[in-house]
Amino acid sequence: MRKKIKRSCALLLSIMMAASYTGCSTQKATEEIPTLIEPQNEEVSTVKVERTDIRVYKSEMTRVEPMAEEVHFSMDGTVGKVYVEQGQRVEKGTLLAELSTAEYEEAIPQLESQLEELLEGFAEENEQTEKRGAQIESDIARLKREVRSTGGDARNYKRTELELKQIEQERFEVDKAARLEQQQKQETQIREKLAELEEMKNLSKLYSPVEGIVLNQPLNLIGRRFHEDDVAFMIYDESKMYVAANYYTEARFESMPEHYALINGERVELEYIELSDERLKELSVKSTPGSTASKRVQYRLVPKEGQKIKFGDYAVVFFVTQLKEDVLSLPIDVVTYDRAYHVYKYEDGSRKQVEVILGLKDNCRVEILSGVEEGDVIYAQH
């Protein structure tokens, strides 16, 4: 019951502040306004013709809400660990949860061991290859010396032997290059697989993209299967707030002279949030004749430096469709109609009925185009 009373008081206070902000507050007689000479039997109040702004607007009461950030895993998988709790404040980059990586934990050591064995085998094989290459080079050097030191048929024999050894060396070099290429290919395949598993392991970790508060119950996520499109976490960013209000197209919103919210007695500007094609389609369906569904959307709040706005604050949203600044005006309730609009003006100690021409009017005041001047005292009968 107490909560309802407090809520009602907050609503009433917000409405009163909104009325005061838009120029709808009650005006009282001042010492500067003279008293009527003629007897008065009815209660009257007085106001002066003054220059004000006239706003034609639509308003509605709403609440401040946080901009919720939807957080998704970067890959499909089953949640294995959760590191945060509901209501916990997290910094940008905080580790929220990770998918089960059991298969990676097993595969990575196996591949690392396989790579180590492979490299050891390559090293031993390459050592033998280098020895074989060195032996061939040594044989060729010896045969060259023997060719120079021999003559006749012996020299021809040594030359033939040298040519054969040089052919063997060429074949050896070709085989060695092919062997090294095959070794490199095998090593690269294992390293790429390891890198892929490490990347998958890293992608399994989910970090907060913003600073904010965790909205959902994370412990319920353990063991659940998620796809990339599934929302895993909802985190609201306290630095980004919005109000939900009636839907206007972006073009209509931008064409308005003003659009703002009154929060805690202060004016806070609104910013249009671009709508997805799905949301626009949804609103189009809801706007069909006979539909009672709400057509409310979010408008981002853009507070000035130093303005304090928090989740749950009451707000009165104003969409000003017409605005005239610094025009002569009077409260609507002092203007009467009897075949023409007129007011009761103070003149020579008595009231005088004066015809006036009206212009733009809002919920509280009306523009006076002619009939009275700034500073004239006007009476309103109650």
Q: What is the pLDDT along the chain (382 residues), one digit of tens a residue?
A: 444 444 544 444 455 455 555 556 545 444 454 544 454 555 668 899 999 999 999 999 999 988 888 898 988 888 989 999 888 989 999 999 998 877 777 888 888 898 899 899 889 999 999 999 999 999 899 988 988 888 888 888 888 988 998 998 999 899 989 999 999 999 999 899 988 888 888 888 999 988 888 887 776 788 888 888 888 888 887 778 899 999 999 999 999 999 999 999 999 999 999 888 888 887 877 666 655 556 889 999 999 988 888 888 999 999 999 999 999 999 999 999 989 999 999 888 888 999 999 999 988 899 999 999 999 999 886 4
Place of tokens 């050896």: 172
Tell whether 303 and 324 lie within a shared domain.
Answer: yes
Neighbouring C-beta atoms of residue 362, cutoff 10 Å: 22
Kindly report the backbone phi and psi dihedral angles of residue 359, in degrees, each rounded to the nearest multiple of 5, phi listed first.
-120, -130
3-class DSSP state of 246: strand
244 and 371 co-located in one domain: yes
Residues 174, 211, single domain; the answer is no
CB neighbours of residue 323 within 10 Å = 15
Distance CA 187, CA 121 (A): 11
pLDDT for 270: 95
Distance CA 252, CA 240 (A): 23
Query: What's the token pair of residue 133?
Result: 């290459």
Question: Considering 156, 185, 203, which residue would you say is the last residue of a domain?
Answer: 203
One domain for residues 225 and 322: no
For 301, counting Cβ atoms within 10 Å of its Cβ (0-12 exposed, 13-18 middle, 19+ buried), the class is buried
Same domain, 185 and 323: no
Structure-block tokens of residue 54: 């006239």
Q: Same structural domain for residues 225 and 81?
A: yes
Instruction: Write the single-letter amino acid at 86.
Output: Q
Cα–Cα distance for residue pair 19/27, rounded to 1 Å? 13
Q: What is the pLDDT of residue 287?
A: 60
Asked whether residue 120 falls in the same domain as residue 138, the answer is yes
Residue 360, both tokens: 């733009």
Instruction: Spell out where 181-232 has E strands.
Output: 205-207, 212-214, 225-226
DSSP 8-class letter at 76: -
Q: What is the pLDDT of residue 299?
A: 94
Which three-class secondary structure state does DSSP give residue 69?
strand
Same domain, residue pair 247 and 374: yes
| Interatomic CA distance for residues 174 and 169, integer angstroms | 9
Q: How far apart are the first and last CA of the chain?
A: 37
Cα 131 to Cα 260: distance, rounded to the nearest angstrom: 84
Question: Is there a single domain that holds both residue 288 and residue 311?
Answer: yes
> Tokens 């001042």 identify what position?
30
Q: Which amino acid belongs to residue 3?
A: K
330 shares a domain with 193: no
Give the number of domains in the chain: 3
Residue 88: give the domain boundaries.
73-96+207-230
Same domain, 376 and 274: yes
Q: Identify the pLDDT of residue 62.
A: 94
Kindly state whether residues 270 and 170 are assigned to the same domain.
Answer: no
pLDDT for res 374: 94
